[in-house]
Structure 1
Amino acid sequence: MKKVNKNKRVPNIHKRYFWDINVLKQDWDKGYLFVIGRIIERGGQQEVDELIRFYGRDKVIKALRDEITFLPNYGIDNAIGFFPELKKEEILCYLNRKDKPYHWL
């Protein structure tokens, strides 16, 4: 079994946002797309501020614009609300799904 490195960087975000993973084993640097997507979808301004502190504003915006492949419509709206410089038409997950229905399965 792999030991957990106690010196890993960990964002100061409540574990309730990550009910489906083992937060002690999560690699917060490698899993940044998952973390950013989850917080944009379900978090508030305080959690988004922590994302910016932890990852940097440019990395968060780049992930939202160019790397995250899916957010529900309200997640896309949240992203634009948190980052007004983003435009819906330049967000990858919007472009991938534009005019396509999606289902929760």
Structure 2
Amino acid sequence: MGEIIINRPDLHPKFFWDFKFDEIEWEAYKMVVSRILERGGQQEIDEIIRFYGYEKVVTAIRDEIYFLPNYAIDKALKFFPELKKEEMYCYLNRKDKPYHWI
């Protein structure tokens, strides 16, 4: 018998407590990347990079993820030093940013 190949990242179901883990569509990488940035550590970051590829993860963080809490933005900057906060879509769109009145 051949080995069964599961096409999903090796992540613990605890990170996706609000989903039916076996039914997650892993192609929905933005959800996975944002969830791991919010709740994971180095091991989980390494795994999403392995699964999705470094460039896809960085592009998702910089250009595609609509919202991350401030602590997750800070984690992203620590894990991916080439990112700049001012270039991150989720940073530019955060709700707590100061507004300048004219």
SS of the residue 1:24 aligns to: helix
- What stretches of structure 1 move > 6 A for 4+ residues in a row? none
Matches of residues 26-105 of structure 1 in structure 2 within 5 Å? 26-29=24-27, 31-97=28-94, 99-100=96-97
Q: Give the TM-score, by structure 1 length.
A: 0.85
Give 1:100 shift: 3.2
Give 1:97 shift: 1.8
Q: Which residue of 2 aligns with 1:12?
A: 10
- d(CA) in 2 for partners of 1:68 and 1:62? 9
- d(CA) in 1 for partners of 2:75 and 2:97? 20
Cα distance per residue 1:40-80 (max 9 Å; x no partner): 11100000000000000000000000000000000000000
Q: Which residue of 1 aligns with 2:21?
A: 23
- 5+ long unaligned stretches in structure 1: 1-5
SS of the residue 1:97 aligns to: coil
Q: Give the TM-score, by structure 2 length.
A: 0.87
How many pairs are equivalent? 95
